[in-house]
A and B are shown apart, each in its own frame.
Chain A
Amino acid sequence: MSSSSSAAISNGTIHRTKILFLGMRRSGKTSMLQVLFDDLPVKQTFYLEPTMRVAKHFIDTVIPLEIWDCPGNVTVDTLGASLADFSTIVFVIDIRDLYQHPVSKLVEFIVATCQINPDIHFEVFVHKAERLQEDDKIENFRQIHERVMDRLVDESPEFEQFPLNFHLTSIYDHSLREAFSRVLHKLIDSLPYLEELLNVFCSNTASPKAFLFDTSSKIHVATDTSPVDQATHNLCCDYLSMLNSFGPLYKSNSNDPRTSRVSPTPAPTPPPTATTSTPTSSTTPAGTPPLSSSSSPVPPSKPHFYPSAATSLSPSRPGTTLTYHLVTPHLALLALLPTTVYDMRRGLVEWNVVWFREGVREIWESGLRGVLES
């Protein structure tokens, strides 16, 4: 996801879905968000300074997002915005914490929010799960869950059925991404359409599992309706990391025009006739084919190029191939295919990918138009 936490980007015209991140000091909010959206290497989170004021992350994925990273001592009044503006509130609790403070704070926010807007989604991330052994992890998780629900019911009996989701997370593995995926799924209106596209793709290509991933944060925005196996999800995240890291290693820094490739155009902001260069293109300096910034409706001289990759696993007969196809500048299709299908029916697979891509682009573009008009 392309993100920026500076206010220099004028986002006044686009309506962004807002997510609020709350939690005690040192619970891990800033680390999480920077690892997910700013490509911060996990080991560098050790050196992060405490967050003193609200930092906003503007993220563009299948829908435009605005994520607020708040300092630990923020309260309903010092927030700087009405709670009604947010679609989701994520509360982060350090799994080793003594629970009184975070639980009271969480309950305070829940009560305040319900008075203003009862439709807001509430999620709790029980974080830093890597610090405990398996049994302690589960025990603490259960205890926190229980304490929160007890306190809520104490506040008022109508909170008994309150839909509060708990997730066990850590920045050291992919549990954080999985949790964030689930949060994101509730915010994407077009999710059923994306899922259906994936289902069709899977049944046509005999694929047991396919995901639509956001390439830079490695959060999956949609998957087909077969059950998600955590190990498969982790492998796909690792595969994406590897592909992302390979790009810069062998990138050519020469001025040879032959090495340039046209990449898919980004969000179609007006005027629709401009063809612009995108972040995924290789370094194409001046003097290369006239595609880089013409505003006249000249069709590009090369067809659109979409990066793809495939890795084959297991030399045994029913092998699996893990494929990657870039679908929009931020989203990629990752699918597991039987190797026999990939090798012998490659053309049909690619054909299905083309249709899948068309479908996703239509959904994404119509979503953007809706957002621009509001």
Chain B
Amino acid sequence: MKKKVLLMGASGSGKTSMRSMIFSNNPASLTSRLGATIDVEQNHVRFLGDLILNLWDCGGQDAFMDSYLSTQRSIIFSHVGVMIYVFDVESREMEKDLEYYRDCLEGLSQFSKDANVFLLVHKIDLVRDTERNAVVQRKTAELEKASGETPVKVFGTSIYDESLYKAWSNIVNTLIPNARNLSKHLRIFAEACSATEVILFERTTFLVIATSSRTDSSDAFPSGPVVLHALDPKRYERTSELIKAFKQSCSRLREEFRSLEMELAEFTAVLDEMTKNTYVLVVVHDPVIETAAIKMNICMARKKFEELQGDSLILEK
């Protein structure tokens, strides 16, 4: 199953760097070597095995933008599942950016009415910590206004911290047909393991696919044992970031990260392969439970999850 993802925004706003970090597993430090994107770069990214993301990274220089909006209009804006528009937080040409954005939104509504729209206020690391929230809120208001009738979701992001993973996990979630069903099964699995929480990650990107605590794919209120333990709300994206960084460290030694088990003072956890495309993190707060028991449970649940993934994607076609 293919889903087309449009990545647009002004030249130098960070689209290609983002893509390189999330999908090509390059560390943030290497993104400085990327050059300007010429016209559209199309990438096919395999996600969760059967889902193929057709990523259209559209070069942001004015000449290209003008061409997308005119001669290439129908090619660019047809069959789009998600449009991601990137704004550089330090842009000195906000008016021009907004104008192009509005034009793109028009093109989108013309050819792909049902596409989801995500707006990223990028390079947020350039804003001082204390002002970040205020800046994101202000930009959100501005962008929502510019979007008119179209419902949009705005995120503040940076390739230097976990915010990028949060935004992209959200984006990818809208593309996975059965996130809710997966959540339900994760909850059953969590109960069987006496776990506080179980999180499913995609293997290569380590974006969060589903968790045992969300009741639906958007930022709904968590339920169950998670509320009891009042865990850090940023844990999902922080985990993605930490594991991704560690995987990169391992690859520098020509080793490949495989699994992790921890028995720390605060909790016990196991991070292991679930299916050939997913990893699972099981977090337990009961000190009596051994990591070996958790690993055995994961082993026994594997088949069920392979089934779940296979079935759901076929049904959606």
Contact = CB atoms under 8 A, between A and B. Distances in A.
Given A238-B246, A256-B285, A259-B285, A250 B267 contact: yes
B63 interface: no
Nearest to A262: B265
Given A235-B249, A235-B252, A247 B239 contact: no
Given A235-B250, A242-B242, A242-B246, A250 B258 contact: no
Contact of A243 (B257, B258, B262): B262
Interface in B236-272: 238-239, 242-243, 245-246, 249-250, 252-253, 255-267, 269
A309 B266 contact: no
Interface in A207-254: 231-232, 234-235, 238-239, 242-243, 245-254
Interface in A237-295: 238-239, 242-243, 245-254, 256, 258-261, 263, 280-282
Nearest to A324: B262
B46 to A, nearest CB: 19
Contacts of A253: 229-231
A315 B231 contact: no
Given A234-B249, A312-B258, A250 B232 contact: yes
Given A243-B262, A320-B255, A313 B228 contact: no
Given A43-B160, A254-B230, A310-B260, A280 B285 contact: no
A254 B242 contact: no
B260 A309 contact: yes
Interface residues of B, number: 40
Contact of B258 (A231, A256, A308, A313): A313
B224 interface: no
B287 interface: yes
A254 B267 CA distance: 12
B238 A258 contact: no
Nearest to B250: A313
A309 B271 CA distance: 11
A254 B266 CA distance: 11
B287 A261 contact: yes
Contact of A311 (B228, B235, B259): B259
B283 interface: yes
Contacts of B231: 249-253
Given A242-B242, A314-B255, A247 B265 contact: yes
Nearest to A243: B262
A93 B255 CA distance: 35
A229 to B, nearest CB: 9
B151 to A, nearest CB: 31
Contact of A309 (B234, B256, B263): B263
Contacts of A313: 250, 255-258
A193 interface: no
A324 B228 CA distance: 29
A339 to B, nearest CB: 9
A21 to B, nearest CB: 27
Nearest to B197: A250
A299 interface: no
Interface in A66-123: none
A282 B228 contact: no
A308 B246 contact: no
B257 A251 contact: no
Contacts, number: 124
B55 to A, nearest CB: 28
A258 B265 contact: no
A282 B245 contact: no
A309 B252 contact: no
Contacts of A249: 231-232, 234-235, 238-239
Given A252-B267, A253-B229, A311 B257 contact: yes
Contacts of B287: 258-261, 305
Contacts of A260: 287
A319 interface: yes
Residue from B249, B266, B267, B288 whose CB has the most chain A CB atoms within 10 Å: B266
B264 A246 contact: yes
Contacts of A259: 229, 267, 285-287
B17 interface: no
B245 to A, nearest CB: 7
B178 interface: no
Interface in B95-138: 125
Interface string B279-298: 00001011110000000000
B242 A246 contact: yes
B196 A252 contact: yes
A147 to B, nearest CB: 32
A281 B266 CA distance: 7
A307 interface: yes
B251 to A, nearest CB: 10
B238 to A, nearest CB: 6
A245 B245 CA distance: 12
Centre residue among A238, A250, A251, A319 by max chain B CB count within 10 A: A250
A310 B260 CA distance: 6
13 contacts: A235-B252, A238-B245, A249-B232, A249-B234, A250-B232, A251-B266, A254-B230, A256-B229, A309-B260, A312-B259, A313-B257, A314-B256, A319-B258
Interface of B: 125, 160, 196-197, 228-232, 234-235, 238-239, 242-243, 245-246, 249-250, 252-253, 255-267, 269, 283, 285-288
Instruction: State the 10 A-B residue pairs at the shortest beta-carbon distance, nearest first.
Output: A238-B249, A309-B262, A313-B255, A253-B230, A252-B229, A251-B266, A311-B260, A249-B235, A307-B264, A259-B285
